[in-house]
Amino acid sequence: MKKSDEMAKKINPARIEERNQICLLRLDNESMSSIAKKLGTTKQTVSLYLKNLPTGDADTQIIITARPAIDKNTVTKIVHLYNAGASIDDIVELTGVTRQEIFNLFAYFKSTRRKTNSITSQIAAQNYPDIVKWMKDNEVSIPRLAKTLGLHSETLTRMLIGESYLNMNTAIKIKKLTSLTYKQIFAKHYEDWMEEFEN
């Protein structure tokens, strides 16, 4: 008998299937409310399940919540194993996917699906277009990015809309997280930054 089959016997099959469907619907960008309606359950049930998904350990790098580059068949296998009771190490062994990729996948399931079109984001896009584009492409909100960078949301907002200076320490963290160049990060402020940096 396969390890996954042995684990599945220990958990209610109907609950496993419901949780599998929650994950797969999140992969398709469904909201929690929409998932609850489709599965005939409550938004609270969906939210609580997603909240409890593991997204890191002591060795985990920065989590990216963009839609993962894992094929749907492998995602299906990962979520079935996890929901059947497999450990992260078991899933790594049985699928060949790394721990980091699994945590990123789970983080994507948990991440917000809202996209902001506020005046703040419009002003930020004028000042730092590549940062804002990266945020939109990866569905990362200002509060989520601020938390990852170790900043208060208001502090990052002030930086992006030009009310305060985007400092080098923050730029280094953004570069590491996004792989953007400093020229992309500072955008129209790049020459001013270079002049100050050289001095």
Annotate the chain with three-state secondary structure: CCHHHHHHCCCCHHHHHHHHHHHHHHHCCCCHHHHHHHHCCCHHHHHHHHHCCCCCCCCCCCCCCCCCCCCHHHHHHHHHHHHCCCCHHHHHHHHCCCHHHHHHHHHHHHCCCCCCCCHHHHHHHHHCHHHHHHHHHCCCCHHHHHHHHCCCHHHHHHHHCCCCCCCHHHHHHHHHHHCCCHHHHHHHHHHHHHHHHHC
Residue 125: its pLDDT value, please? Answer: 75
- Whether residue 127 sits in one domain with residue 106: no
Tell me which residue range forms the domain holding 146. 119-198
- Whether residue 127 sits in one domain with residue 65: no
- Whether residue 94 sits in one domain with residue 7: yes
Indicate whether 97 pLDDT > 80. yes
Indicate whether 114 pLDDT > 60. no
Q: Which of 25-34, 105-114, 160-169 has the lowest mean pLDDT?
A: 105-114
- Number of structural domains (the chain) is 2
Q: Name the band, by pLDDT with cuts 50, 70 and 90, for residue 115.
A: very low
Find the mean pLDDT for residues 121-134. Answer: 82
Contacts of 162 (CB under 8 A, 6+ apart): 123, 127
Of 110, 128, 147, which residue constitutes the final position of a domain? Answer: 110
- Which of 49-58, 84-93, 142-151 shows the highest mean pLDDT? 84-93
- Whether residue 85 sits in one domain with residue 8: yes
Residue 195: its pLDDT value, please? Answer: 63
Find the mean pLDDT for residues 147-166. Answer: 84
- Whether residue 145 sits in one domain with residue 97: no
- Whether residue 51 sits in one domain with residue 16: yes
- Whether residue 158 sits in one domain with residue 103: no
